[in-house]
Structure 1
Amino acid sequence: MVKRILLTIVGLLIIIGVIAGIKVLQIRKMIDAGAQFAPPPETVTTAVVRSETWESLLTAVGSLEAVQGVTLAAELPGKVTEIRFEAGSKVRKGDVLLRQDVSSEQAQLPGAEATVELARLNLNRMRELLAQKIISPAELDSAVANHQQALAAADNIRASMAKKTIRAPFSGRLGIRQVNLGQILREGDAIVSLQALDPIFVNFLLPQQQLGQLRVGMLVRLTTDALPGQELRGAITAISPEIDAATRNIRIQATVANADEQLRPGMFASVAVELPGQLQGLVIPATAVLYAPYSDSVFVVEEQADEKSGQKGLLLRQQFVRLGAKRGDFVAVTSGLGEGDTLVSTGVFKLRNGQSVVVDNTLAPEFQLAPKPENN
């Protein structure tokens, strides 16, 4: 009985040993196959590093603002008796836009003028009496003061009447009317917006490190999606004397002609400041760059011999670069590459250093310095 049990145990051990040996052989074959496995080469598009000359520009996004703009409002309370403008019309400086009820002032003015006349006659009489030494100089001084007070009272009534006639303070275009005939206006109630549109300001911000390149009178280019295909020109007219402490940007103001009044206050626009001289250097497609916090890099395509097979093929070498200005689909490279180097131009996020590749540029995008939405 014992002998039978021992034989059974020995048989089981032999079977287990055979199975383990088979598994070890299988695992070793898999390891050897994995070591010898070479992934198929990745298909990539390429671009050649080339030297170009660019215009020297500083670009920013700006906001348009009227050279003169104000919302006209009532200075004194009163009822609207006449509206003499149409919404959206052009007006000249001094044109009457609105009148308020001045019947109360008109009723008070004759009495005030009569008081002025009486004070004037009394003053003349006092001067004659003083010349005859009948009255004292103090009585003449009192008559002079009474006359001046009467004049001031009459002028105050006339000033109130003038303030109730709203005139255009400058030439420009009116906005939407905000009052109606017969409406009782309170002091400060808005009447209509008035904007001088030709010329027009464009305000924009630039980093403080670019302050040394800016000068009043430099030309600027202006484009906006409200005027597709058009490029307007102006010039820098003011540079703020202070830097924004929060953003470290400097505020710039340029003036642009707007004879057709196609530009309106509140629009945003793309602004490019023309700097003297030109930029010359190496440029590559912006999509060829693998952006990373520690450093930006590109993948250079080089022909190398495979270490195992000895056959020549195209391999990738990751190269760290320092970038410069960007223009359209391109970015300048200040260090790390040489003219004529071949780079992977798209899909760099899925590549790795030393990877084998094949080049197929049949579907390569066309990179442009001034791309448009329809090119995408």
Structure 2
Amino acid sequence: MSRSRQAVKVGLIAISIGVAGLYIGKPALFSKPVPFLSSIGLTLWPAETSEVAVQGSGNKQQGKKGGGKRGFGGGGNQEILARARNVTTGVTDTFVRAIGTGRAAKMTDLYPEASGRIQELPHKAGTRVSKGDIVLRLDDAEEKLAVNRAKLALKDAEEQVERYEKLMTSQTISTVQMQNALLATNQARLDLDKASIDLDRRLVKAPFDGVLGIMDVEIGDYVTQSSRITGLDDRSSILVEFVVPERFANKVKRGDKVELRTEAMPGRIFSGELTAMENRVNSESRTLKVQATVDNPDDLLRSGIAFDARVQLEGDEWPSVPSIALKWDRSGPHIWLAEGGEALRTDVIVIERSADRVLIEGEVEPGDIVITESVRDLRPGTKVQLSPEPGFTLTQPEGNKPPLVSETQTSEGKAEGERKGKGRGKGKNKPADAEQTQQGEPVKSSGSRSGASRDDANQSSS
């Protein structure tokens, strides 16, 4: 019993090895289909790929002869409905952002010009004062006495000069005595001026219109020339100082518009302009200090507030297309142009993108017709029937014929297209290329515009 089982196992193994040899080795004995295996539907070695391809090609040719237009055999000249717009010119939104600190257009700290005890403080903190208003008065009894003494001395000197003038007519006094009297009069005037200045220095006055800050002193305090009294700010306008990188040193200029935002007034945007620039770049930080001025008529802004400053610069011009016209695939961004009634793929580089437009760089010029939407995927050379986007009109670029709306290719045109397109296997050429060929000029083709030189030129793009 055990021997019969071993014989069965050996037989099964031999059959398996034999079948595997038939599939792998394909010996000459079975180069043709085996009738027995064919009768049960088993084909060990299918026909070669080339033979299948030839047979399939023959079937397609027979289908064409039979007049059938199914599958890929028909629809070669079918037009695709598409919407389009003209390429326009856009300007990049270039700006510089920086954090700056604001200060009043005029601001100063008030100090007394003499030492003494405070006798009067006429104004409180937050009071708006005018130029020349008294902010502080020191005790001035001695200075008033000095002024009165100087006035008396001046009066006496002037009376002495009058007496000498009368005596000069009778030559009772000499000329030297008269000159000494005049000199004494001038000296008395100078003494009076000095006494008046000393008296005026007992006062602290506002040097310009502004708002007083908190007083650092009280009535009765003894102050010196180094004692701060208070601060005075003219907040009719605010100066905001900030720095910009040195690469923008030649791009910013006086008069540029500046947008200012601050957390002290959330949601508010203050408009100002650059009014001053440093005359050199800081060699350590590689920055340029600039100053912007913003009006503050409602007195909402204060000195010391931090601002987020944004300086608008002059942008560069680039072709602009609608955002919906930009397509992407594994090769990168591209758009579809319409030239001569056919779709033309153009690879581009995105310069700047916003919600409704894209600035691009590539083989595209303002005025070209760019396809925004189509009912089917586009391929290079696909015929398109264009309609403008709602609210827009299409303008034909100079040198291009109108977009193909309805055109049937004649047999003569087909033959000519096949002759001209034989080298690329497309059977079609652009009218502009044909014209250049007839004139003997070389036809230039760009990889990004030809649509046929890329590996994925036959892939669809939405």
TM-score, normalisation: structure 2: 0.49
1:169 and 2:207 matched: yes
What's 1:85 paired with? 123
Q: Could you tell me which of 228, 236, 239 is aligned with 1:190?
A: 228
Does the aligned pair in 1 maintain the 2:112–2:203 contact within 8 Å? no
What's 2:311 paired with? 273
What's 1:65 paired with? 103
Pair 1:107–1:323, CA change in 2 (3 A): farther
Does the aligned pair in 1 maintain the 2:97–2:311 contact within 8 Å? yes
Deviation per residue, 1:130-172 (Å, 9 max, x gap): 4443333332222222111111112211111112122111111
Pair 1:270–1:333, CA change in 2 (3 A): farther
Q: Give aligned-pair identity as a percent.
A: 27
What's 1:96 paired with? 134
- 3-state DSSP class of the match of 1:209? helix
For 2:111, the aligned partner's letter is A
Aligned-residue CA RMSD (Å): 3.3
Distance in 1, matches of 2:177 and 2:185, equals 13
Pair 1:79–1:244, CA change in 2 (3 A): same
Pair 1:195–1:243, CA change in 2 (3 A): same
Does the aligned pair in 2 maintain the 1:102–1:161 contact within 8 Å? yes
Does the aligned pair in 2 maintain the 1:55–1:279 contact within 8 Å? no
For 1:113, the aligned partner's letter is K
Q: Could you tell me which of 240, 254, 273 is aligned with 1:202?
A: 240
Deviation per residue, 1:278-330 (Å, 9 max, x gap): 57599xxxxxxxxxxxxxxxxx9959xxxxxxxxxxxxxxxxxx999999xxx
- 3-state DSSP class of the match of 1:238? strand
What's 2:6 paired with? none
Distance in 1, matches of 2:242 and 2:160, equals 65
Does the aligned pair in 1 maintain the 2:92–2:352 contact within 8 Å? no
Does the aligned pair in 1 maintain the 2:318–2:360 contact within 8 Å? no
Matches within 5 A, 1:1-376: 54-277=92-315, 302=330
- 3-state DSSP class of the match of 2:94? strand
- 3-state DSSP class of the match of 1:203? strand
Does the aligned pair in 2 maintain the 1:56–1:279 contact within 8 Å? no
Structure 1 stretches of 4+ with a deviation exceeding 6 A read 322-327, 332-335
Does the aligned pair in 1 maintain the 2:91–2:315 contact within 8 Å? no
Pair 1:324–1:94, CA change in 2 (3 A): farther
Q: CA deviation at 1:124?
A: 2.2
Q: CA deviation at 1:234?
A: 0.7
Unaligned runs of 5+ in 1: 1-51, 283-299, 304-321, 336-376
Distance in 1, matches of 2:98 and 2:352, equals 13
Deviation per residue, 1:208-255 (Å, 9 max, x gap): 332222221111110111111111001111112222222222211111
* More strand per residue: 1
Distance in 1, matches of 2:244 and 2:207, equals 34
Q: Which has the larger radius of gyration?
A: 2
Pair 1:226–1:192, CA change in 2 (3 A): same
Deviation per residue, 1:316-356 (Å, 9 max, x gap): xxxxxx999999xxxx9999xxxxxxxxxxxxxxxxxxxxx
TM-score, normalisation: structure 1: 0.59
